[in-house]
Amino acid sequence: MAVEEAPLAELIEAIRPGGLAAQKAPRIQAALRTIRAERGDHRLEFLAEMEPLEARAWLTRIDGVGKKTASVLLLFCFGKPLMPVDRHVERVSHRIGLIPPKASADDAHDLYLAMLEPDQMYEAHVGLIRHGRATCHARRPACATCPIAPRCRFVDPKAP
């Protein structure tokens, strides 16, 4: 309740380290209001009993909650086998050819559901983020030292 009713300026300052605080703060408060209005409180434990796609659909009905945010929450808080696709995951996935070149991040969530086994989602998500941060940088990827380079379509468009 404290976050929902906090002065907006205070919430913005509290979440500033995460980036885009001015955009996120009002969305967070609106989402909390929506959850409380529908459920009577802010608790989300009921999502644990839902099927992964059903739980994701429930969350994405909330204005400002997309597949990425819903998938992160469901994977990390409830162990639901969903693949969150953020900028790192999307970039690396395109470069190494895991998803088609024109696939959007939104499409990629569902492509990964078809591609990976449920018990592979967490490891794939964390591994792709780690690779994107350490090696496959947005501006200057370290292709010369990349262990995936021989199979990377960014390095060689004809790679397997």
Q: Which active-site residues does the annotation give?
A: 68, 86
Q: In degrees to the nearest 10, what's the CA dihedral of 140, 18, 116, 109?
A: -90
How many residues are there in the chain?
Answer: 160
Q: Report the distance separating Cα 143 and Cα 134, nearest Å.
A: 11
Buried b (16+ CB within 10 A) or exposed e, 28-46: bbebbeebeeeeeeeebee
In three-state secondary structure terms, 97 is coil
